[in-house]
A and B are shown apart, each in its own frame.
Chain A
Amino acid sequence: MAQIASLTLYHNDEARPIIDAIIADNPGIRVMNIPGAVKLDCDGSLTVNRSSVEARLGRSWEPQELQLVLISMAGNLDEDDDHFTLSWRH
């Protein structure tokens, strides 16, 4: 069975550029809409890139700001100044 890395985010205006950036940067991503939230699933790993979010947002953005729109996640987290990555790789 594929191990699924997953992020669930608010479905609101603040999260939309982040959701768009994730969809653009993670080929094969699956999107599940539920009322108020969106669940993003990827086999193996899923990355949020600072530069992709900033390009859509038009301002500087730190990956830690993700916490303001984050609902749930699955996978081992690796977070630094330029990315927020969930994966089942070691």
Chain B
Amino acid sequence: MTAKKLGLKQRYAHMTRGLDWETTYQPMDKVFPYDTFEGIKIRDWSQWEDPFRLTMDAYWKFQAEKERKLYAVLDAFAQNNGQTNLSDGRYVNVVKLFLTGISPEEYQAHRGFAFAGRHLRGVGPRVAAQMQSLDELRHVQTQIHTISHYNKYFDGIGEFPHMHDRVWYLSVPKSFFDDARTAGPFEYMIAIGFAFEYLLTNLLFVPFMSGAAYNGDMSTVTFGFSAQSDESRHMTLGIEVIKFLLEQHPDNLPIVQKWVDKWFWRGHRMLGLVAMMMDYMLPKKVMSWKEAWDIYFTEAGGSLFQDLARYGLKVPKYADVATAEAEHISHQNWAVFYQYTHAAAFHTWMPDKEHLDWLSEKYPNTFDKYYRPRWEMWAQMEKDGKRFYNMALPQLCNTCQIPMAYTEPGDPTTIAFRESRFNGDTYHFCSDGCKDIFDGEPEKFAQSWLPVHQIFQGACGGPTVPDVLNWYRLNNGADNLDYVGSPDEKLWNQWMAGAVKAAG
């Protein structure tokens, strides 16, 4: 007679609990020095729940299966020259932005969860954080593998790790993760596990990868959805963290609320890059940023915060402002890159008439009034041979590090300027959300490495634009500027002409 197989819940209990012990050579507080200074109070670590009940043996089994499937697709894509079947050569710029702006953050997330997995003293969250740490490492590796195929043909990709540490707009995601990783393990878990993974990651991955599928990028959609299958587990970890902290002690509520407010706003600002990608960069569009926001924040976030209200946790501060900004943010961001195209490691372009009409349809309240005239003016200038460039450096927000391009709530014709004084100096912000974050931790944000200021201080290779681009390892004339006239476009047109010729 064979022994009766254990049920899922019993198996999980056996394989995750009782693995820890009370240390005797050293006091527990010295072994786990990081999990008390943030003020979070934990009465009983054993109350931690992992509803996925994933054990390490099952984890390896499922992850190996996912990898096998992914690499079969990557091989097929490379073997069949999948890059020639994209919707348009412009599409690749989405992939460039992803590899330079997102993949290095997967690595940062890997490091952050490794830290949390080491320094939280409860065994349940440690197992979950360690699995997530491995997931994040898998994500960055598979992304680099996938996109390395594009690097054989297209510009702007090869120097992505170097660029991540230097290029002005990449300081936005870099500083986001630097901030999270220099916080304590509980803030990190709320920042990345809850605010980012649970509230916002759908906005990043689902429309992004669906967009890849729709634009013929079989390899990206496959790594994307493969990563995303881990994401559900991450989201569950995020929501369990918050429930656990709020159930453990009432004193945790104000601390957690402050983190939720902060990281929601920081995440919202960073995802503006995705907004621009969806509304402007995908040749074939899946849904507008506004539609994605309505589904994944307003609807999904609404259900979640209704649930968390029983603990006294409120909807993040300025969620209403963020929702109102969903009408504007993609247009304002693409305008930034359009005018600073000479300093970006991907190509930009003028939306054509069909594209403008799509934007009018998706943004009936705002596009024709505020943004269409801007594109029409610039289109006219292009036609007249005076393509518009901004040849000065932009003022940056001291918190999110994005050029201060966002407008006053309720007035899309006026830039929002906010400032604080600290230690005898002035600090500038793009919004009340970013100002509040600074005011909460001025000692930390007075140390922001703002790319524009660093250039002026002489820390970025020299005073001229070519000096700085060289320091970025940005290949001037190939990686940057408009898609039209780029080596990428030339190559794409050759492929298309070859296809037409072959078809007779």
- Chain A positions near chain B (C-beta within 8 angstroms): 1-6, 8, 10, 34-37, 64-65, 67-81, 88, 90
Contact = CB atoms under 8 A, between A and B. Distances in A.
A67 B229 contact: yes
Nearest to A8: B206
A37 B300 contact: no
Interface stretch (B18-26, B207-215, B344-352, B368-376): B207-215
A72 B230 CA distance: 9
A8 to B, nearest CB: 6
Contacts of A80: 7-9
Nearest to B214: A35
Interface stretch (B50-58, B263-271, B446-454): B50-58
B7 A81 contact: yes
Contacts of B233: 67
Contacts of A70: 228-229, 232
A35 B213 contact: yes
A76 B307 contact: yes
Interface in B222-268: 225, 228-229, 231-233, 235-236, 239
Q: Which 3 A-B pairs have the closest CB atoms?
A: A36-B213, A35-B214, A3-B303
A71 B93 CA distance: 24
Nearest to B53: A79
Contacts of B53: 79
A34 B304 CA distance: 23
A1 B239 CA distance: 20
Contact of B51 (A34, A77, A88): A77
Nearest to A32: B295
B306 interface: yes
Given A68-B65, A72-B231, A81 B8 contact: yes
17 contacts: A4-B300, A5-B303, A8-B206, A35-B210, A35-B213, A37-B209, A37-B210, A37-B213, A64-B62, A67-B62, A67-B233, A68-B229, A70-B232, A76-B51, A77-B51, A79-B51, A80-B9
Nearest to B209: A36
Contacts of B66: 68
B306 A1 contact: yes
B308 to A, nearest CB: 11
A79 B240 CA distance: 14
B195 to A, nearest CB: 15
B303 A78 contact: no
B232 A67 contact: yes
A3 B212 CA distance: 30
B286 A71 contact: no
